[in-house]
Amino acid sequence: MADDCEVYLRPLRVEDAATSYHWRNNPEVWKNTGSAPDRIVTIEMETAWIERALADSNTKRYAICLKDSDRYVGNAYLSDVHDGQAEEQIFIGDPQLWGKGIGTRARSILYDIALTMFGVRRVITNIRTRNIASLKSVLKLGFVEVARDAEWVRMEKLLER
C-alpha cells in the first residue's frame, strides 16, 4: 500500500466490533497505548464496549477508513469534550498499515471535526515516549510539548479556523 492512501472518518458503529475485537487481542497494537486489555476480548465484549462508548456524551468516537476500499482500519476519539477543549486518542488496528501516514491524515480530519462540530479550540494528547511515530505525527500537525516524564509526553495544539 502506498504512503499516499487517503482516509476518511465516520462515526463508530456497533457493527465495527466484528473487526475491532481482533485488534483488542493483538498485543502489538497495544504496546504503545495506555490501556491494553488484560484478557481475551470476545466480539460480545467489544460490542458492549462500543455501545457504552457511543452512549457517552462527552466522547466522540470515529472509525478511520481507507477511501479506496471503505476498509475500517482504526479509531480516532475525542474525549472529555468540554469548555472548548478535548483529549484525542488514535490508533491504527492493523500493524501492516503503520508508517503510511494514515494516523496523521486521520488526526487532521479529527481536528477539523473537533473545531467545526464541537467548538474545540484546544486539543490535548498523551503519547508514550517510545511511540516515535505518534510523536512525529503530532509534531507535524503543530503540537507542542507541555509536560514529560519517563513514560509519557503531554502535548497540545490550539486549533484555528
Task: Tell me the CB-side half-sphere exposure of residue 149, using CA atoms within 13 A.
Answer: 3
Query: Domain limits of the chain?
Result: 7-158
Nearest CA-CA partner of 38 in 25, 51, 55: 25
- 85-127: pLDDT as tens digits: 999 999 899 888 988 999 999 999 999 999 999 999 999 999 9
Beta bridge partners of 85: 82, 122
pLDDT band at 3 (very low <50, low <70, confident <90, very high): low
Give the pLDDT band (50/70/90) at residue 2. Answer: very low
pLDDT of residue 160: 86
The domain over range 7-158 is classified in CATH as 3.40.630.30? yes
Mean residue pLDDT across the chain:
91
pLDDT digits (tens, 9 = 90+) for 23-54: 888 877 777 666 666 778 899 999 999 999 99
C-alpha span between 121 and 144 (Å, rounded): 14
Please report which confidence band the pLDDT of residue 5 belongs to, taking 50, 70 and 90 as the band edges: confident
Torsion of CA 96, 97, 99, 104, to 10 degrees: -160
- Cell numbers describing residue 115: 473545531
What per-residue confidence (pLDDT) applies to 54? 94
Pairing of strands 122-128, 85-92: parallel
Confidence (pLDDT) at 25: 82
Contact by Cβ (8 Å): 82, 58? yes
Q: Provide the H-helix boundaries in 56-123.
A: 102-118
Q: What does the alpha-carbon distance between residue 80 and residue 151 come to, in Å, rounded to a whole number?
A: 22
* Percent share of the chain, pLDDT over 90: 75
- Region 131-135: mean pLDDT is 90
